[in-house]
Amino acid sequence: MHSFMGGGLFCAIVGNILLVVSTATDYWMQYRLSGSFAHQGLWRYCMSGKCYMQTDSIAYWNATRAFMILSAMSCFAGIIAGILSFAHFSAFERFNRSFAAGIMFFVSTLFVLLAMAIYTGVTVNFLGKRFGDWRFSWSYILGWVALLMTFFAGKNEKNTYIWIEGTLARKSGRYRPT
């Protein structure tokens, strides 16, 4: 049981770090502009060695930012619930923390999927046509890796919950093999 929980927490912690790094860095897209290389993230764009804040309030930027932040926050809440799964508090006896952690990790996965889908769609259909020579960069790739990590964290926590419920059912006599 503890290996499932530990594996889920490990994936979640790595996923949360990747979410924060991906959201905060400026390498979601690289392109060539007027003969020099430029790159941009969710908050800034950089050209010729100088970086500038993204001051335009464009819906897809705001949606991508919001979903990435919500994803990191829900992943962090899942990590807290997962850590509390190791503790035995009588006040939380009816509340299964592994189940709650798994749900939070799946919610985090959904949020990062929405963020990545919005950014990918706009970049390919709009920005990619505007900048002829462009490519996705490492911050963007970290976002997709974070999606996988939060998904596997949720899957591990779900497996932990199923294992715990099965063990409790066998101990209480409610278990009926099919």
> Looking at this protein, which amino acid is placed at residue 109?
T
- 85-101 pLDDT, tens digit per residue, is 777 665 555 457 788 88
E-only strand ranges, the chain: 29-33, 36-40, 44-47, 50-53, 134-136
Site of tokens 């509340």: 95
Phi, psi dihedrals of residue 26, rounded to the nearest 5°:
-105, 30
- pLDDT < 70 stretches in the chain: 1-6, 88-95, 128, 161-178
Question: How far, in Å, are 31, 32, 62, 133, 143 from residue 35 at the CA level?
Answer: 10, 6, 29, 10, 28
> Taking the model in full, what pTM does it have?
0.84
Can you point out the beta strands (E) in 56-177? 134-136
Per-residue pLDDT, 1? 47
Q: Regarding the domain delimited by 2-26+58-172, which CATH topology (the fold level of the hierarchy) does it fall under?
A: Butyryl-CoA Dehydrogenase, subunit A; domain 3 (1.20.140)
Q: What is the rounded CA–CA span in Å between residue 98 and residue 3?
A: 13
Residue 97 token pair: 């923390």
Q: What is the pLDDT of residue 166?
A: 62
Please give the structure tokens belonging to residue 30: 């690289």
Give the model's pLDDT for residue 96. 75
